[in-house]
Amino acid sequence: MRLIDLNSLDVYFNLAAEAYFLHQTTESVLILWRSEKAVVCGKHQNICAEINVDYCKLNGIAPARRISGGGTVFHDLGNVNFTFIQPIGDSLDKAVDYKQFLEPVRKVLRGMGVETSYSLRHDLLFGEDKISGNAQHIYQQGRRVLHHGTLLFNANLKALGGTLHAKGTYIDKAVKSNRSTVTNLGEHFPKYTDMESVLADLRAGFEVLYGTKFGGLPNEEQEIIDQLRSSKFAHESWIFGYSPSFSATKQISTPDLGEINWTWNIQKGLVESVMVQHQHTLELLLQNECSMMIGKPYYGEEIRSLLSSYSLFDNKFYYQLF
């Protein structure tokens, strides 16, 4: 088992690193990593229905999409992520086995004085509260499995709550997140509000368990991962465009007109149709602007520019809408 400590705090680089080791290598690896503030949705989710985009923009939280399924999770520097990648052997039937990856994590946590248990959805619990959400992805062509999870030690749970609430009503066939009551381990173990202590103890525990040391990435691997970051994981076509088709109904308030209803139909991240109506008169508004939005990315600067050119709207109302 190769133990890798990613020095990057960029969520897009870190997600690209997972994809690189899954798709382009054959070795077994365990990666420990952290990211600056980010919200990461599962591959098959409608990110627009999962997150509060305006809250993310206002608070510098990066939206991202990973290659595994499962629900949306919040990352910041108080959260440690672990990723196991390894061959699956001869049988796909036994490939999805959360406990084979979570038992080593539980053993290391136990050595740190933290006793955990399983939820019915294969999350790790401390007491009755969730401290770790997990997901897996099978790369069938390469016969490899990726398992990754989060560990909450000192995360900003207020930001987590604000991030994971989308505005409006969405109709789609995407996988929905299950919300759980969560807790930080630092609330119960004061030593583990210090993330350097957390990382040191996690590294030490895994090094004893696997009999090898953590190392970084050589330059050639960093260059490959950087390219994958730019071409896919940081690109809006992956983050937003990969979402299933959906329709959304939203409402904003303006001082002059009061409440205004918006109805969007989105295909592959692009606006297929949009209608704006005044709540009381049902008068159609912004017809010219709406027609100019067709074919544009749902979350994009072009739509913001179109709205900001209209006298009723400024950034405040844009953030209400998204």
Q: Would you say the C-alpha torsion 287, 291, 296, 302 has a positive or negative sign?
A: negative
Q: What is the CATH number that goes with domain 2-239?
A: 3.30.930.10
pLDDT at 174 over 70: no
Confidence of residue 25 (pLDDT cuts 50, 70, 90): very high
- β 117-118/124-126 pair status: antiparallel
pLDDT of residue 95: 62
pLDDT of residue 284: 55
- The pTM (predicted TM-score) of the whole model is 0.78
Q: How many CB atoms lie within 10 A of CB 300?
A: 16
How far is residue 282 from each of residues 9, 98, 154, 241, measured CA to CA in Å? Answer: 48, 52, 48, 31
pLDDT at 170 over 50: no
Question: DSSP string spanning 83-112?
Answer: EEEEE--S-STTT--HHHHHHHHHHHHHHT
Q: What is the pLDDT of residues 88-138, one digit of tens each?
A: 876 566 666 888 899 999 999 999 999 999 988 788 999 999 999 898 899
Q: In the numeric block, which tokens belong to residue 62? A: 């990066």
Q: What 8-state DSSP symbol labels residue 297?
A: B
Q: What is the pLDDT of residues 218-270, one digit of tens each?
A: 999 999 999 999 999 998 878 877 666 667 677 776 666 667 777 777 776 77
Burial class (CB in 10 A: 0-12, 13-18, 19+), 147: buried
Nearest to residue 288, comparing CAs of 263, 307, 262, 271? Answer: 307
Interval 161-165 mean pLDDT: 66
pLDDT of residue 246: 63
Instruction: For domain 246-321, give the fold.
Output: Enolase-like; domain 1 (3.30.390)
Q: Any bridge partners for residue 56, and if so which?
A: none
Burial class (CB in 10 A: 0-12, 13-18, 19+), 224: middle
Confidence of residue 85 (pLDDT cuts 50, 70, 90): very high
Higher pLDDT, 322 or 80: 80
Interval 157-173 mean pLDDT: 60
Q: Which sequence spans correspond to the domains of the chain?
A: 2-239, 246-321
Higher pLDDT, 154 or 53: 154
Contact between 271 and 240 under an 8 Å Cβ cutoff? The reply is no
Token look-up 């870190």 returns 14
Alpha carbon distance 34, 180 (integer Å): 22
Beta strands in the chain (DSSP E): 2-5, 29-33, 38-41, 62-65, 73-75, 79-87, 117-118, 124-126, 129-132, 134-139, 144-152, 169-171, 214-215, 246-254, 258-267, 270-278
Confidence of residue 54 (pLDDT cuts 50, 70, 90): confident
pLDDT of residue 254: 65
How far is residue 41 from each of residues 64, 102, 136, measured CA to CA in Å? Answer: 6, 21, 13
pLDDT at 169 over 70: no
